[in-house]
Structure 1
């Protein structure tokens, strides 16, 4: 729901308990503050998508409007990142959403609110389930000018009593002081006990199916259901799955089939395949607006397609990535397709994700002033432009003023394109060579065109279009570098017109790379670029490509760099090579804990950089001499801290953390880099918000509806690694034949108790070792080892060790 300019429009929220979608309140510039203070919507408890507040002058507290808002689900996020945005709210003094306990998905963005207090007195980590760390909280009122949370219970309104409170230590530059967590002076933040997911006003735990709270009389009567709500007349029951003959709707409530198919389409829904006023259908126990991939709608249900499904969508003018997302999955365009994108990030990747399924356009295709585009390969399945509707009653394919467009499509894989009616119009594309347009004419079997239709002097006038083959040899391959060699290219008349060479390099797991796929002239380019100077005295050019990754396949090509007016140049084919393997990085997340007085369980994750084919691990251990520690410690005065079993068995992190390939510099220089990156991100966010808020509606193209509901995708969670300890048998392990210079297998004199051990483990990332001494500290080491790859593989196959110590249990434990 989108509210702007008028306070009266907010009246529709009077009886709302749940907003199934987003809530945005923005651009209230000339509003009587008294009118806003009179408004309150106490019944609203849940928003399924995101909540956006922007330039609402006169609003002092969000909690004043929505005192009982408990949950923001974030099923659809603002720009796929944020669930709660508060931006440029100059009058806002507090957020005050004292009932808010859960933001299920997404992050918060709070910036440029100069009067805002009580933000850092909220523990957002308790509210936000997403731990990606993309929250941004900046530009608030200085903390020393804000009120502080009260620790006086009498100040709090006991009619809205909260769960047990928690004090927190907040550090600033000058001091550290203890404070309560609160939303304002009258409401502390709800803090649930560790065994509660929610609790009522009396501090009693609610049912695990509850979010936000529950009734004081019945702990199963939830404020918001964690999973699904099942409604019976005026009663609500929270369930994990919908019962028989009910269907899951928006992943939050259960509806009957009749309720599903009789729901009217959303106001901003764009018709697909003429599905009319009632587009909802049932499929796999769910009530859906759109059928899944490779399924089509048939009598209010989804059935598999024979081959690829046809999805018809209305013509549209794409001037932003947001508009492009409306065509995701469309195969046929009823009307014309116009593209004019001047802004955005990852433009080509986004276009390919959303437009790659289009096969047929009934009208014309027009691409104008889209500076990011290098090729049209994002329309990878386009086969036919019918030309039933023409631009200016003449033109079916218009390419105008695209400063970086270098190629139309890659025709090498027998690609075809049919243009049934209309003429071409190609002008002011300085990097699109005329021969590329002639190739289109040949493939599409078009008639000859005039200079007024396709200008030979304004297409390809700033690039070398007469390209000769350049033959490149790979002379040496190492673990982290490769050496290339080629003959000096000879210009026809004046060698000074050759300014140099450019080597383009990219990681290529498969040998299917093309020059223009995924390239974005406005910065999104995964190709690494090396500039090579002309060597005037040598006839052979040699170039080293350093800083590569071991055991990776790369693709590269080389092209000449000439003066702008030169029409002749050279370029090599795309070639591939594989770097040699190297030493693996050490195993990650090494964890050691004891489950008995004579044994240890050892777990780890594979190395982040295997740098080869990791085949086995070497697990070694030795008894650690800690008698001095036991002798010098008075255990009566300084008893050991008991560690709970769940803390002794932390889960293995199965997804490796993102690798930071940038240098880490200490001190002020590092801070400046961080501040610059954050500042740039804030500028991009502000530009994006302005573009979306003030964006014109796209023109109607052969349809009365031109906007489509924002696409909502479900989160997919990785399965958790089972916490299972397997005792390995003799067939699973073997004594390591490699001594590795550190540990040998040896037992204590006259016993079978290990003094030290060294085993090789194949195909597993955990190891169980018994026959150890009770209450003894052991030092455990794990190495990763890869297989050797031929005679040129000279580096060590085994990594450095990951080391951890742990003590076996005492016999009384």
Structure 2
């Protein structure tokens, strides 16, 4: 990741900015985007409070030159920003080279955002989107995301403004002159737009990846758009690589691929460096962070790589893999010096991504644990794993553990894969689709000599069929919306071991699908399942009715027998081959956009579009018309003072179409009583899915907060002060002697990275009163340093149970002006407590009464302080502290 090279920031011709830009706390930080055409890395805009700016401030900001972000775009808690249409009017491509927890676009808790407005965004090359907790955000359903990205089914849209509360009106709709194109997305054929005045641009089908605003195809090396057709120098972004103003399929000689999108010279590659190494390396025509697996840096020229003699390991520390983003940190690793924990709850078809980042791992010195990884169907992505050493074991017993993986069906192909577990046993629990035969094969192939105990393998394969017999279908009856199937009865050795049958089906246009396609259970393309109970008569053939199917649609279907799985015996199952059945045709849906024009006094011109769901092969259209009698009341209606009354529709005499009858039903008549609708009870699967969703949302939110608020390990380890001593002062001393945040920062300021001063509110102008002086202190003398020397300048409200002392009284010598707490019997400052207060022990601001004594409420002037959300969670800058009953420590 280039983001680790934040110690070296460069620009080329004032156009390429990076690596990565983090804009937070102050709207003035946006000036860092001036003149940027490409942000190399990520762009994060976050934690800008509305106290110092308003919506008009954002309307004056615009960066029309910015067209590409190579990693991801993250927006989080930016008040006052209602749209990105003015801010980034020409952003066309987000590459997703490095992702933020599987996502290339994250919009989270943007309380003012009303629309996204990136009307020139044409391509998100890699990664999905997460748009969540934006209570004013609309125009999400009006965008066809399938035109922008491939894996749109991985997107997460949650807790935004409800669609029924949004007025997603595309340009021209209100004037009856739609300006936007219509597409079909998520079974919704509609006009596509980003805002009420910006359409979504749809390229003609013959233009593969990009087109001009006029609809002309761009050059084949363009991505996201262009200003001139068939011109490789007029592209908004490049499909492959950018070099000297032109998009090229390969980097020319004497140049090297960099960050997956541009070509640079060796001289420029030598200017990029890391803290641990003076240079990046050049290998296989690419300028990269470090040598790939099988190579090491040349001893004489550190910019070049040399092949290893024999095994060349790249050791990485223990890792918890919960997303593609964290898996990317293990790229080119061959040895995990520690443990490997995999916990991937979500993701579609991510096996190839995991294999590209983890496929070279050969040895894990500790243990391997696969837990709650519902997105995994097999472990084949660990294709090079050969040794699990077991130097550290789970519960001092297990070197490999697989727990609660709902869709794990296979481990490895043991005919081609060799794995040795040197110390430890296996543990498998709650893997409902993993056959016991797979577990026994792993136990035999890995060289474990210890016999499994009774509790090692439980609740596995309950929904699997370790089949050895083929079930055959006997008959099928097909209608337009249903398929009835019957198959031969299955007779295992013990009929009591047979639990049920499961019928799998999904619509599929071709006849080459396999059972494992879509069986990750995480996406819209997964198999649908129907549980079928056993017939009451053992001699009867089982059958099923598949309902609510689409007309004239081909379905792939197969059935499995589910048998009882026992640890100490193998019970054979049964499964059918996959068959393909097409439902019968039905009436087509209504033709779209029907319009009629009177082109003469005796003719009507009627136009329409084909139906969205033809439900069969359309052969002709039937057009019916009739003369509509006018309501004579229309001529006498006063339209200025009364509402328009809809005329009553009466069929012409001699012509009646029952299908077009407009007689209202009883429930449609005004005033008719309607029965109350109740919500259907949720199935156990739906409840489990909702529970898993809640856990996943919490995991992502924790990841977001940790990524933004917590310092990196590199930063912590780089500190040279005695952190143990600092923590001891924070936790063990008298609370009055604990160091303040000001004192902590002042004691470690020499070890802070330079970017901290640039982005930190602590060092900003807003945090420096004119008469503030920096503290000069030593950690060893922290006990004698006042908690807050500046507190004498801040008003402090004190609510006491006794009458305030007269103004002539002063603090005792034992109490400095900066002492944070006052004892019950201590005198107070003049004018701090109001004479009108009574001894109720209550806080007039918070409304709370404390039973354990009086309260001191520390309240800085809120109007003079900028409330940063990451410091106080959006609450007021105040805290109530109970006063001690005595001055004793």
TM-score (norm 1): 0.48
Structure number with greater CO (CA < 8 Å, separation at least 6) is 1
Give the structure with the higher percent helix: 2
Using the size of structure 2 for normalisation, the TM-score is 0.45
Q: Which has the higher strand share?
A: 1
